[in-house]
Structure 1
Amino acid sequence: MAAAAEGVVPTLAIRSSVAVELWSSGGSKLPYEHKPNLPREETKNSRSICFSPDGRYFAFSNGLVVKVLEAGKDQNGTWPIQCQLPRPKAFYLKFSPRGNYLCTWEHYAITKDRPEGAPNLLVYDVATGNEVFAIVQKNQTDWEPSWSSDESIFAMVVGGEALFYDLGPDAIKGFASTTRTIGGSRGGMLSLGPGHCPPFLAFYTPGAKGAPSMCKLYKYPALGQNQTVACKSFFQADRVEMLWNKRGTGLLLLTSTEVDKTGASYYGNQAVHFMATKGDTCSVPLSKEGPVHSVKWSPKANEFVVVYGYMPSKAALYNLKCDVVFDFGEGPRNCAYFNPFGNLIVLAGFGNLPGAVEVWDVSKREKLANLKCADTTFFEWHPNGEWFVTATTAPRLRISNGFKVYHYSGALLHETMWPTGQELLGIEWQQYPDNTFTEPKITKAKHEGIKSSQPEASKKAYTPPHLRLLKEGKNPEKYLPQPSIPGLTLTTGGGAGGANNKSKNKQQKRNRRDVVNNVNNGGGVAASDAAPPTGEDQSLQQQQQQQQAAPFNKSRQQQYHQARQHQTENAADQQQQQRNHNHHQQQHPQANGQNISEKDRKIRSVAKKLSDIKKLKARQGQGETLELNQLNKIEMEARYLDELKALKLSA
């Protein structure tokens, strides 16, 4: 087990539909549970929980205020309130890198008193609880401001322009005015790299009017146009995700488009690009077509993994030269998670995939465990690098909510399922500074675990009933009713069916029952009255059954073939009628009222998209958390309005 400082036991923060609470354990032998010394507050309106990166503070919203608690110094310590912030509508919470500031974001709203809208992104000093910065930030995605690792620089993008604030010794004055800016266009993004002080930074500018999108690296405070450290241009990028390695020396850009204009992909186009602070840039080679599902840096900062391609997807490990150093092969996966030390990686298929989880030893390039974590909506490694937690949370899934803690060998260490009528909304492990835990030694030894209370899905393939009887050596016709053929009435002695379907069905059942009883009972003798056949009697009885059943079987075969021939002829007639109908529609489209111009089709399509956006915004206004693709769709509203206006004005 990974060694740790004396008394360090990470707590687990839990947000549910009834409370916010902290759970803890006494180590690997005891389950996680709520202990009397740990905080618990009953609330049905909590929307966010958050630990500071160093684990000193824990913040949560309760629908009235945002509370910031100071972590207990030991396992028996208390968690006193550090400060309370008057933000009843806080939707997201985010600490600065050293935990000295807390940023809150809430939905942007316009009121009669403030038609321009009130600031919805605020920054508070955790030590005093005082507000030090406030601004309007309408975007729900990428709302977080950017910080340098030592918190001396605060930066964010407003209206496409990057604004920088040098905080210095007097942070309050530092937040008052910008010290530097970088001009850009609407949709620009900014990210300060970790590690270095002053930091490297990346600024992304989207392309327009045929020009490519651009990402530039700078070394703060040299932000001139001719002072770029590296530059990478690319087309097909409606959105960019910027991922720094832990040292702040390498940057990965995951670019994506909403729609593939060629129509080849439902997911749009995605690509991965690499930029280094030494000036190197390149595109990451992907050997299989399809979307990029996940891109993650190793905490060692010298490798990264990409999961990509149509299912079954591929996963590959790359070095800083963007060469593939190991191929994990193909499988049903769309996620990758390195443990805090980078010596283990989990490849998993969550969301619409069945939940297969693979645990790999990164240094030895070998698989350690395979397990199934169905319906997983959340995954996180424990700070010790040996355990991980999986959870099923609402609103993604509102049934079977709960969480499980696993050892990397696949052993289940803990399981908690939520009571019926309650929902698990969020879960998060307390973080710690680097070097609190030591890197664990990876072995193939199977860790002892517990048995899950959840029923496992059957691994046996489904076998239809008639095949089950065949496997048992029985005759299916003797135990199962014969399949009915449309339009075919089984009769004995040439009798016909009734005048309607009901009478035909009844007659079929009667005839089938009479014939089967006749065959089974040897010509009308009841089975209960007959003596057990032996020797010659048994042979004679079998011959009688075969002779009596033969006319019926022959008659049924003839009727079956006649019905099949009749069905085939009807199907051919129907196909010919359909072809004639389609040909008529092509020659005379106005006969069906389908003579719609291409312009009208486009107008209807754009109007439908705007109607969907209006519904999404209404749901968002009610406090519902939207998916990423839904948020991106809302951001396209202005473009659709312009397109609709242009279509209506065109001749």
Structure 2
Amino acid sequence: MAAAADGVVPTLAIRSSVAVELWSSAGPKLPYEHKSNLPREETKCSRSICFSPDGRYFAYSNGRDVKVLEACKDGAGEWPVQCSLPRPKAFYLKFSPRGNYLCTWEHYAITKDRPEGSPNLLVYDITTGTEVFAIVQKNQTNWEPSWSSDETIFALVVGGEALFYDLPEGSAKGFENTQRKIGGSRGGMLSLGPGHCPPYLAFYNPGAKGAPSMCKLYKYPALGQNQTVACKSFFQADRVEMLWNKRGTGLLLLTSTEVDKSGASYYGNQAVHFMATKGDTCSVPLSKEGPVHCVKWSPKATEFVVVYGFMPSKAALYNLKCDVIYDFGEGPRNCAYFNPFGNIIVLAGFGNLPGAVEVWDVPKREKLASLKLADTTVFEWHPNGEWFVTATTAPRLRISNGFKVYHYSGALLHETMWPQSQELLGIEWQQYADKTFSEPKITKAKHEGIKSSQPEASKKAYTPPHLRLLKEGKNPEKYLPQPTVPGLAPASAGGANNKKNNKNKPKGPRREVNVKAVNGGDVDTAAASAAVPTTQTVTVTGEEQQASQTPHHTHRTRPQAPRYQQENAADQQRHLHQHQPHPQANGQNSNEKERKIRTVAKKLSDIKKLKSRQDQGESLELNQLNKIKMEATYLDELKMLKLSD
């Protein structure tokens, strides 16, 4: 094992809903646990943890301040507090490349005391704990400032303009004044490349009013308009992600749009472009349509991998000429992770995918292992290049929280599941300086591991019950449901029982319908008196109401008659029906007669309104004219109803 050979004990930082703590393990077969010499602070308000790139410091927030701890060198000593920073609302933490400065970011807020807002991006000197820089940075997505590898240049983008600060080694006075500026348009982005000192830098300007977006490479401090090293223009780019290789000689641009105008993808369009410090630029060819899921540089800085296309997606390895040097084929994948030495790559499908993981030997182009890591939200390689940790964390998933440590051969080395009452929020390996670990030798030998305590999903295919009975030599017909009455089908018997049960069901709620009486008099009086309610009520049960609202469907259809013919036919049929004798009780006869009087009075009132509209010169429809012709008939009917008293 690389860790055992180099004598370095791996340390794991854990942030949960109850505490921030460090765990360690003495070897691959020994469990990870919290030891007495490692720090642990109980807090429910921690939002960020962070190791410095060289592993010397560990910083975390606890809701009161930000503490920076110095790592012990022998692995058995204490972790003393280097400094405490008064940032109770710190949301993000980020160390500088050499770990001499710590950047904190918190949400921008306006108060009554300071209506203009307070600076929310601050830089602290770790050795003294003093604040050396503060500025307002409202953008949360690209809040991180850029540093040169030797920390002599500090740069950030504010309002689309890139500001540069020159920092002499060991001096923080350079934060007082800006030395150079470029850009000026909204949405600009800046990225300083690693490796070279002074570094190369890339500045992105979004397109506007039909002009293409553009990314330019410069060699600091030559930032003039005609001093660009390389330039790449492209359309359809609402967002750009800039990825440098480890040497700072190549830059990948992952461009994307918010909306795909062609409608082919819900996630918009993505494209990958390459820029070299030698001046070469090109677009990375993709052989399958669909989104670009992941782009990663190899730590060797001579090749990169792209996972792209509709599912099942493709994964391909490219060289610096953007030629495909190996195709990993298709599969349910959307992530790629190189180990710190670039000789092993993991292709995985996390998020909305089932968690299939493939481990590949990059130099030999061979698959080493395949495993299933469902519900993984965090994946990170250990600096030794042989182990990796996977975790299920909140708030992405609030159940089955925990972490597992694997060997690249697929063997499970450690497993810790969090209690149901707690949540695992974050996990991070301690980083180390370059050449701390030697490059591991890759073998196909299966590493010895432990068995997971979590139940595994059944791998057997589903078999219907009747096929299972046939395999057991049983007759499926004997297990069919038998009718309750001999000679009666089960469905019919069930229907009879349902009818019997329906009789015992409680009836629906009753509703009261007011019956309005119409006093004697002329047509206008009858129409006006229709709004006067009487004390008599008619009760309608819920079942009758439901039956009256149930539509009657027929299989045969025929053309419908015109609307006016339907209304006239309905009126004539109602008129004949009203004059048919019905043997009813005295109370019911009285109610029926009152209802008929109201109906006729309503029709006469409508006719009066139609005649008024006709007198004003308004043209009426044919059915309205036919209704006016029925006025004499309705008057005779109303007269007969009143005389029948």
* CA apart distance, 1:300: 0.2
Q: TM-score, normalised on structure 2?
A: 0.76
Identical aligned residues as a percent: 86
Q: Does the C-alpha gap of structure 1 residues 476 and 483 become closer, same or farther in structure 2, counting only changes over 3 Å? A: farther
Q: How does 1:447-458 map onto structure 2 within 5 Å? A: 447-458=447-458
Q: 1:91 Cα deviation (Å)? A: 0.4
**Equivalent residue of 2:172, what SS?**
helix
Instruction: Give the match for residue 554 of structure 1.
Output: none
Code of the aligned partner of 2:120: N
* Pairing of 1:231-630 with structure 2 (within 5 A): 231-481=231-481, 492=488, 502-503=498-499, 573=555
SS of match in other structure, 1:175 = helix
Whether the 8 Å contact between 1:238 and 1:257 is mirrored in structure 2 is yes
User: 1:494, 1:171 → 2: CA distance?
Assistant: 91
Match of 1:167 in 2: 167
Q: In the TM superposition, what whole-angstrom CA distance separates every residue of 1:356-399 from its partner, at most 9, and x where no partner exists?
A: 11000000000000011110000000110000000000000000
Cα deviation for residue 71 of structure 1 reads 0.2
The match for 2:16 is 16
Residue 128 of structure 1: aligned partner: 128
Structure 1 CA distance, aligned partners of 2:310 and 2:145? 34
Does the residue aligned with 1:151 lie in a helix, a strand or coil? coil
Partner of 2:41: 41
Q: Is the 8 A contact 1:497 1:503 kept in 2?
A: no
Residues 483 and 295 of structure 1: is their aligned pair in 2 closer, same or farther, counting only changes over 3 Å? Answer: farther
What secondary structure is seen at the aligned counterpart in 2 of 1:470? helix
Counterpart of 2:81, as a letter, is I
Closer, same or farther: CA 303–504 of 1 in aligned 2, 3 Å: farther
Q: 2: CA distance between counterparts of 1:28 and 1:117?
A: 50
Tell me if structure 1 keeps the 8 A contact 2:6–2:437.
no
Going from structure 1 to structure 2, the CA distance change for 1:329 and 1:494 (only over 3 Å counts) comes to closer
Q: Aligned partners of 1:457 and 1:504: how far apart in 2?
A: 45
Q: CA deviation at 1:8?
A: 1.5
Q: Which 10-residue stretch deviates more, 496-505 or 370-379? A: 496-505
For residues 205-246 of structure 1, the C-alpha deviation after alignment (integer angstroms, 9 at most, x for no partner) is 000010000000000000001000000000111100000000
Change (3 A) 1:499 1:337: closer
Find the residue that maps to 2:498 and give its secondary structure.
helix
- Over the aligned positions, Cα root-mean-square deviation in angstroms equals 2.6
Offset at 1:572? 11
CA 1:504–1:81: 2 relative to 1, 3 Å: same
- Aligned in 2, Cα 1:404/1:499: closer, same or farther, shift over 3 Å? closer
- Kept after mapping to 1: 8 A contact 2:60/2:67: yes
The alpha carbon displacement at 1:419 in A equals 1.0
User: For the structure 1 residues 478 and 330, does the alpha-carbon distance in structure 2 shift closer, same or farther, using more than 3 Å as the test?
Assistant: same
Deviations 1:138-186 (A, max 9, x none): 1111110000000000000011001000011463320011000002310
Q: Give the CA deviation at 1:477.
A: 2.5
Seen in structure 2, the aligned counterparts of structure 1 residues 506 and 461 have a Cα distance that, compared at 3 Å, is farther
**1:557-609 deviations in Å (ceiling 9; x for gaps):** xxxxxxxxxxxxx99959x99xx99xxxxxxxxxxxxxxxxxxxxxxxxxxxx
Q: Which amino acid aligns with 1:217?
A: L
- Alpha carbons of structure 1 residues 472 and 102: separation in structure 2 relative to 1, 3 Å: same
Q: Give the partner amino acid of 2:297.
A: W
Taking the aligned partners of 2:293 and 2:482, their CA distance within structure 1 comes to 50
Inter-CA distance 223–29: structure 2 relative to 1 (3 Å threshold): same
1:130 CA drift (Å): 0.3
Cα separation, 1, equivalents of 2:463 and 2:214: 57
The CA deviation at 1:473 is: 3.0
Secondary structure of 2:8's counterpart equals: coil
Contact 2:6-2:436 at 8 Å conserved across structures: no
Q: 1:492 and 1:80, CA in 2 relative to 1: closer, same or farther beyond 3 A?
A: closer
* Residues 336-359 of structure 1, C-alpha deviations (whole Å, 9 max, x = no match): 000000000000000111111100
Residue pair 2:345, 2:359 contacting (<8 A) in 1 also? yes
Aligned partner letter, 1:502: N
Query: In the alignment, is the contact (CA less than 8 A) between 1:497 and 1:504 conserved in 2?
Result: no
Change (3 A) 1:79 1:494: closer
Q: Which whole-Å deviations, capped at 9, do the CAs of 1:299-344 have from their partners, x for residues lacking one?
A: 0000000000111100000000000000000001000000000000
What letter corresponds to residue 58 of structure 1 in structure 2?
F
Structure 1: gaps spanning 5 or more residues: 508-569, 582-651
CA distance in 2, matches of 1:16, 1:466: 49
1:113 offset after TM fit, Å? Answer: 1.1
SS at match of 2:299: coil
**Contact map agreement 1:4 1:437 (CA 8 A) in 2:** no
Match of 1:90 in 2: 90
- Distance in 2 between the 1:140 and 1:476 partners? 64
Distance in 1, Cα, partners of 2:175 & 2:392: 40
State the Cα distance separating 1:3 from its structure 2 match: 5.7
1:498–1:504 CA contact under 8 A, matched in 2? no
- In the aligned structure 2, how far is the partner of 1:343 from the partner of 1:324? 17
Match of residue 540 from structure 1: none
Shift of 1:267: 1.1
477 and 194 in structure 1: CA distance in 2 versus 1, 3 angstrom threshold: same
- Tell which deviates more after alignment, 315-324 or 257-266: 257-266
Cα distance, 1:462 vs. partner?
Answer: 1.6
Q: 1:3 to 1:451 in 2, by over 3 A?
A: closer
Residue 442 of structure 1 deviates from its aligned partner by: 0.3
Q: Distance in 2 between matches of 1:162 and 1:493?
A: 83
Q: CA deviation at 1:467?
A: 2.7
Deviation at 1:471? 2.7
Deviation, structure 1 residue 264: 1.1
- Where in structure 1 do 4 or more consecutive aligned residues deviate above 4 Å? 3-6, 493-501, 504-507, 570-574
Are the structure 2 counterparts of residues 305 and 573 from structure 1 closer, same or farther at C-alpha, using a change threshold of 3 Å? Answer: farther
| Aligned counterparts of 2:487 and 2:280: Cα–Cα separation in 1 | 84
Q: CA distance change for structure 1 residues 361 and 505 in 2, over 3 Å: closer, same or farther?
A: farther
Verify the 8 A CA contact 2:483 2:490 in the aligned structure 1.
Answer: no
Give 1:601's aligned residue: none
In the other structure, the counterpart of 1:584 is none
Q: Which amino acid letter does the alignment assign opposite residue 498 of structure 2?
A: K
Kindly indicate whether the alpha-carbon contact (under 8 Å) linking 1:5 and 1:436 is maintained by their aligned counterparts in 2: no
Partner of 1:102: 102
CA deviations on 1:68-122 (whole Å, 9 max, x unpaired) are 0000011111100000000000000000000000000011111111111111100
More deviation in 32-41 or 492-501? 492-501
Contact 1:4 1:438 in 2 (8 A): no
CA shift at 1:416, angstroms? Answer: 0.4
Kindly provide the amino acid, as one letter, of the partner of residue 193 in structure 1: G
In 2 relative to 1, CA 284–4 (structure 1 residues): closer, same or farther, beyond 3 Å?
farther
Q: Give, in whole Å, the separation in 1 of the partners of 2:228 and 2:555.
A: 73
User: In the aligned structure 2, how far is the partner of 1:435 from the partner of 1:572?
Assistant: 84
Distance in structure 1 (CA, Å) of the matches to 2:501 and 2:389: 57
Question: Shift of residue 483 of structure 1?
Answer: 11
Say if 1:476 and 1:277 are closer, same or farther in 2 by CA, change over 3 A.
same
- The verdict on how the C-alpha distance between 1:470 and 1:232 changes in structure 2, with shifts beyond 3 A counting, is same
Structure 1 475/39 Cα, relative in aligned 2: closer, same or farther at 3 Å?
same
* Structure 2, unaligned runs of 5 or more: 504-551, 561-645
Work out the CA distance in 1 between the residues paired with 2:13 and 2:56. 13
Q: What is residue 54 of structure 1 aligned with on the other side?
A: 54
Distance 1:572 1:75 in 2: 85
Determine the structure 2 residue equivalent to 1:138: 138
